[in-house]
Amino acid sequence: MKLRPFAKGQKRARNVIRKKLLLFFFITFFIVNTISLFTYYTTRVLTEEMNDIFSNDSLLTNLSNTLNSVESSLKDYLTTSRSSDLYDYLNASNDLRDMSLNLKPKLSNKESDILLSNIKNLMVTYLETTDFAVQEKRGRDIAGYTQQFNKATQVYDYTSEYIDKLKIYEFKENNAYYVQASRRLASLQVFNIAVIILATIVDFVLIILFSYRMTEPIIRLSKAASKIAQGNYDVPPVKVRSNDEVKTLALSFNHMAESIKRQVVEIQEKTRIENCLKEQEMQNLKMKSMLNEAELRSLQAQIDPHFMFNTLNAALQLAMFEGADRTQLFLENFSGLLRYNIGNMGIPSTLLDEIGNVESYVYLLNERYGNKISFTKEVDENIFNVEMPRMTLQPIVENSFIHGINSLESGGQIKVAAHRSGQAIRVEISDNGRGMSRETIEQILAGCPFETAGPKGKDGWSIGLKNVISRLMLFYHVEDVNKIVEIESQEKVGTCVAIILPIGERESSYV
């Protein structure tokens, strides 16, 4: 079928729908990630500030404890002169000295910074005084270390007082900050909820708009195609406002509908002329029908199959010359089906040829019954060249159509699936027809290998399927029918016939 080219200056849309989808996903991704990053940043800032609060509080507590340790160990040493007390003093004073070095107050008028600076200076003075007291004690100068100890005690009291003041001040500051942080956190939660609701609304609106603009013309195309499938060719052109692939599809569909309409008119005119010719030739046909049946069969038996193929090829060339693409395709499939069916049954075929023959057969059925069958296949490419008996799959597919799908008004489905399973190839032919009873399945399997006098089965299923099963058993030298075929069926649901090709046990000869 030839379609008219696009009008001059009209550009074919490329990847417009993909770009729209990518833009929509990018917007959604940007909104979600922006919210996440903002929440992460705000939470991290609050966490760091809280960590600073806890760190300062812990620092002041450790500082106070260490200062107490220095004072206590110094007092014990000055009282008892034990070396263990001196050792404790030295360790505690070193720790306090390290802490004082790590204190880095800021140069500001803030009370907490002033207190921290005073504490650091007092600790330096206190450590110097305690060291003098220890030296005087070791020199056994009672008056000297007593004086230094009293001085150190005063500095200790001032330092402890400043530390307590700093704790109280920071407690007030931390309390105020906690109230402020709580408010900020509540505001952040409200903001996040508002942004999430807004993003949800935006996404919902975008989804509705995009899905409507994309599916609405497709729905109109589907309705127009359904009318054409029902035989109504007077379908108005489908108009699409968007400049994307759907518009390209609509233009192609409109061209196709116009072409079909013209061809239907031409076919009707040809049919009228052929009917007139048939009336004129009726007398000649009546004379030919009076030929002797034996003579007719004899003549038919003398027809060379090559003559039939040559005749079909001539018809193909004529259809090609006249531009009847559909007729040409129909004749090609019929020619291939006929050539395959009358081929030498003693020569094995391949799975690829068997499936090709089934496709030709289903195509002819759809042309005859108006696309009643939806045919699908799932076959591993690496098993296409596996040998199998000729005319194995078509009789099973034919049974699926005649005894399963033919009773349906529409929606018939036939599927052929093939894959390797260990040392065998499993080929499944399934349909959604009316199915058959367990009794019928048992009758089919009970008569294999095929016996002419065996049970016929229900609705004619038995004969063709028995013939296939029997040839498979002979081909692969299998005596147990259950090792070559499996049948599962449910009435009003469908049937699945699975044949097992034991390629690992296949002998080279063919019977």
* pLDDT confidence tier of residue 447, bands split at 50, 70 and 90: low
- In this prediction, residue 344 carries a pLDDT of 63
* pLDDT confidence tier of residue 97, bands split at 50, 70 and 90: confident
Residue 498 tokens, joined:
């699975």
Of residues 6 and 70, more confidently modeled: 70
DSSP state of 4: P
Question: Is 352's pLDDT higher than 80?
Answer: yes
- In this prediction, residue 9 carries a pLDDT of 41
Q: Of the ranges 57-71, 350-364, 471-485, which one carries the lowest mean pLDDT score?
A: 57-71
Of residues 292 and 483, more confidently modeled: 483
Question: Is 6's pLDDT higher than 70?
Answer: no
Question: Is 356's pLDDT higher than 70?
Answer: yes
Of residues 456 and 339, more confidently modeled: 339
- In this prediction, residue 191 carries a pLDDT of 79
d(CA 84, CA 92): 12
d(CA 195, CA 200): 8
- In this prediction, residue 82 carries a pLDDT of 82
> Helix, strand or coil for residue 452?
coil
* pLDDT confidence tier of residue 499, bands split at 50, 70 and 90: very high
> Helix, strand or coil for residue 455?
coil
Whether residue 223 contacts residue 245, with contact meaning beta carbons closer than 8 Å, is answered with: no
Residue type, 303: I
- In this prediction, residue 13 carries a pLDDT of 54
Q: 83-102 and 111-138 helices cross at what angle (nearest 10)?
A: 150
d(CA 336, CA 80): 118
Residue 310 tokens, joined:
């040559």
Share of the chain above pLDDT 90, in %: 6
Helices vs strands, H then E, count in the chain: 12, 7
Burial bucket for residue 294 (CB in 10 Å: 0-12, 13-18, 19+): exposed
> Helix, strand or coil for residue 487?
strand
Whether residue 494 contacts residue 432, with contact meaning beta carbons closer than 8 Å, is answered with: yes
d(CA 216, CA 240): 9
Whether residue 493 contacts residue 413, with contact meaning beta carbons closer than 8 Å, is answered with: no
Residues forming beta bridges with residue 428, ordered by sequence position: 417, 498
Question: Is 303's pLDDT higher than 70?
Answer: no
Whether residue 431 contacts residue 501, with contact meaning beta carbons closer than 8 Å, is answered with: no
- In this prediction, residue 376 carries a pLDDT of 92
* pLDDT confidence tier of residue 431, bands split at 50, 70 and 90: very high
Of residues 464 and 505, more confidently modeled: 464
276: left (phi over 0), alpha (psi -120 to 50) or beta: alpha
* C-alpha separations of 6 from 237, 242, 262, 417 in Å: 15, 16, 19, 40
Question: Is 367's pLDDT higher than 90?
Answer: no
Of residues 180 and 15, more confidently modeled: 180
- In this prediction, residue 225 carries a pLDDT of 82
DSSP state of 491: T
* pLDDT confidence tier of residue 109, bands split at 50, 70 and 90: low
Dihedral sign computed on CA atoms, order 160, 161, 165, 171: positive
Give me the phi and psi of 130, to 5 degrees please.
Answer: -65, -35
Question: Is 123's pLDDT higher than 90?
Answer: no
Q: pLDDT tens digits for 246-298?
A: 777 778 888 887 888 788 888 888 888 888 787 767 644 543 443 333 333 33
DSSP state of 5: P
Average pLDDT taken over every residue of the chain? 76
Of residues 31 and 89, more confidently modeled: 89
Question: Is 200's pLDDT higher than 80?
Answer: yes
Question: Is 93's pLDDT higher than 50?
Answer: yes
- In this prediction, residue 294 carries a pLDDT of 33
Mean pLDDT across 302-329? 66
- In this prediction, residue 131 carries a pLDDT of 84
Angle at 212 between CA 211 and CA 217, to 5 degrees: 110
* pLDDT confidence tier of residue 430, bands split at 50, 70 and 90: very high
Q: pLDDT tens digits for 16-74?
A: 767 777 777 777 777 777 777 777 777 777 677 666 666 666 777 787 788 888 888 88
